[in-house]
Structure 1
């Protein structure tokens, strides 16, 4: 099927339609095992390389503006051993939050002015990247949301980050200042460094 050959490894129903693949054929290919459905309307070719982060890939296809954040970002950056029950993503406050049932997703609404601060990417599958916050931004987000996500998680991630050779505490403090939590983050950084 030439339409199938022109599609990327991971694609949406809309992309398939634009390539000339009818939705009936799409679901037939899924039922025959040539496609895997990662989420509603998100498909991956069965013969494509196995993704490292399939849930993040699926969610990013459904919500391309969203950025992987908090515990989900901490897992990717190896800042925690905790396994989140939901993929955590951030969207700007002025955008309607996406409703994604599978994979389970938790949406945070972050301020527009700092929404893309600390934005980076991770390769979720070979050649396919997902928007994610940097290690430093993730540490600060965990600290500022510690009332919701848990103080032990936030402090553990901060401790783990600061013990790395490539740690940049100054950058953590710069994000903390930008996000309005400099006092509490500085106190926590000083306490961890003093340990």
Structure 2
């Protein structure tokens, strides 16, 4: 393999911890080189079409970056969004991802996903963007995540939702007004009102 191309590819991995063949092709390099570097033991292939450096140092949110690289239109939600915003000490085994009601169910080998279907304003409201390992990540804001936790309290536990509400306010990740607005969007205002009053 041409050493210059190899150096360019490794430099791309230092900027973005996760790459696909199309990322190389955009830079004018054939995606075939990823397979060659994988065969040489320089790259790992955790999922079909996804490559990472074998000796790379993944962040604690590596699985989130991996999921978003493969499903760029998905939005990190619920337990994974709590983790992103440091609103829980739990580290979920699966990546929680929201997709549209009629979106096709993503099929990926790794990381394990927990898909939740949102619709209307609940899907589009409160989306924030950030970058992890060079990958664009869409997630719900702390306020929207708290409201979602109450909406899905039967799946994740009411205690988790209450803890998220307390931590969100204590850490000043969102104001009471922002949480109340998100509660209305999620149609959770009646459910959340007594809990919000108790922490005021």
When normalised by structure 1's length, the TM-score is 0.86
Give the distance between the partners of 2:163 and 2:31, measured in 1 at CA.
Answer: 49
Q: Provide Cα deviations, 1:127-156, integer angstroms capped at 9, x if missing partner.
A: 433111111111111111001111111111
Among residues 140, 145, 157, which one is paired with 1:138 in the alignment?
Answer: 145
Q: Residue 94 of structure 1 contacts residue 112 of structure 1 at CA under 8 Å; is this kept in 2? A: no
Task: State which of 129, 151, 156 in structure 2 corresponds to 1:121.
Answer: 129
Distance of 1:118 and 1:74 partners within structure 2: 14
Structure 1 gap ranges (5+): none
What SS class does the counterpart of residue 11 from structure 1 fall into? coil
Query: What residue in structure 1 maps to residue 68 of structure 2?
Result: 60
Paired residue secondary structure (2:96): strand
- Superposed CA deviations along residues 54-92 of structure 1, whole A, max 9, x for unmatched, are 111110111010011100010111111112120000011
* Aligned residue number for residue 106 of structure 1: 114
| Equivalent position to 1:78, from 64, 86, 99 | 86
**Contact 1:52/1:124 (<8 A) preserved:** no
In 2, Cα distance between equivalents of 1:59 and 1:165: 28
Q: CA deviation at 1:112?
A: 3.2
Q: Deviations over 1:99-151 (max 9, x none)?
A: 223111111110033312111123312x4331111111111111110011111
Decide which moves more: 115-124 or 79-88. 115-124
Per-residue deviation at 1:21?
Answer: 2.2
Q: 1:187 to 1:60 in 2, by over 3 A?
A: same
Relative contact order (C-alpha < 8 Å, sep 6+): which is higher?
2
Q: Cα–Cα, structure 1 residues 135 and 8, in superposed 2: closer, same or farther, change >3 Å?
A: same
**Cα contact 2:22–2:31 (8 A) shared by 1:** no
Aligned pairs, number? 191
- SS of 1:187's partner is helix
Tell me, yes or no, if the aligned pair for 2:19 and 2:52 is still in contact at 8 Å.
Answer: yes
The 1-side partners of 2:70 and 2:136 are apart by 14
Q: Decide which of 175, 190, 193 is 1:168's aligned counterpart.
A: 175
Query: How far does residue 42 in structure 1 lie from its aligned partner after superposition?
Result: 1.2
How many angstroms does 1:49 deviate by? 6.4
Q: Does 1:185 align with 2:192?
A: yes
TM-score by length of 2: 0.84
Aligned residue for 1:96, secondary structure, equals coil
2:35 is aligned to 27
* Pairing 1:13–2:21 present: yes
